[in-house]
């Protein structure tokens, strides 16, 4: 694969913040695809989804890595592509949105729609769960709906129970409940990040490359399980997840590492 970390990663969990803090990791970015979750991975979590902030320098780092990989850098998120583009504007990158409902292998091109959005009637019923109390926030993501209780963590059990009751009324195998970090998300069944990543890796410029995926939440765990098919590596943030090759302590650590490999890549390119 051409990665300096490969032997360490395959022989045990590597802590990138400690053991490899000075390792560039990727000698040749043209052989790699870099896939990044957003919230909790490259951006710090915020009290509400609308309050996330892109730290100074991150856009520049992502733009540099996108150039060095010849466009093989993609954001992989539960957010919609429209939301992703708005957050990182004016930068536009290849992306997977809606947990795999939207796929855009090449920035600027029309996205492939891989699922139908949840019905407006179901979204309205789910949004009513926010009546459980202050701090329970409904986020309409288009293809899915998320109920955040970061501001009311004591409401978690009640939120999950209410969502399960509503979804039990739906026809079998039509919707899926995704638990996350102080959030419950409801999306169309059969759509997930792992399937979308597998599809992305068949598209140019990602095909014939080795992916490196970084994610932080339970919704990212299916991706970790498919990376070996492509000779790839997976790294979690904040905790050690199943099937990962290493982990970062925080989004700040991820951003610092991305900046480091971007600088190393530019030096190697001359």
Distance CA 116, CA 191 (A): 10
Q: How far apart are the first and last CA of the chain?
A: 22
Distance CA 175, CA 187 (A): 6
Distance CA 195, CA 188 (A): 13
Distance CA 119, CA 88 (A): 28
Distance CA 67, CA 86 (A): 20
Residues that are catalytic: 37
Which stretches of the chain are DSSP H helices? Answer: 6-10, 58-68, 81-88, 120-127, 156-167, 193-200, 221-224, 251-269
């Amino acid at each position: 694969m051409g990665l300096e970390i490969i032997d360490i990663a395959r022989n045990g969990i590597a802590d990138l913040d400690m053991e490899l803090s000075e390792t560039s990791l990727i000698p040749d970015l043209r052989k790699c695809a870099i896939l990044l979750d957003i919230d909790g991975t490259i951006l710090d979590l915020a009290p509400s989804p609308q309050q996330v902030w892109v730290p100074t320098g991150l856009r520049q780092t992502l733009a540099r890595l996108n150039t060095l990989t010849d466009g093989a850098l993609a954001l992989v998120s539960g957010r919609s592509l429209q939301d992703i583009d708005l957050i990182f504007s004016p930068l536009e990158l290849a992306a997977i949105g809606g947990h795999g409902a939207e796929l855009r292998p090449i920035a600027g091109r029309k996205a492939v729609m891989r699922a139908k959005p949840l019905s407006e009637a179901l979204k309205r019923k789910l949004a009513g769960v926010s009546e459980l109390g202050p701090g329970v926030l409904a986020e309409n993501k288009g293809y899915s709906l998320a109920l955040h209780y970061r501001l009311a963590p004591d409401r978690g059990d009640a939120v999950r129970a209410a969502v399960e009751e509503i979804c039990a009324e739906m026809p079998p195998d039509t919707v899926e409940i995704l638990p996350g970090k102080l959030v419950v998300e409801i999306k169309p069944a059969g759509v997930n990040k792992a399937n979308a990543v597998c599809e992305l890796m068949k598209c140019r410029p990602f095909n014939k490359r080795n992916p490196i995926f970084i994610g932080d939440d339970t919704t990212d765990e299916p991706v970790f399980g498919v990376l070996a098919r492509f000779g790839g590596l997976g790294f979690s943030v904040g905790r050690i997840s199943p099937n990962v090759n290493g982990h970062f302590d925080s989004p700040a650590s991820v951003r610092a590492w991305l900046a480091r490999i971007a600088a190393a890549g530019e030096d190697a390119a001359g």
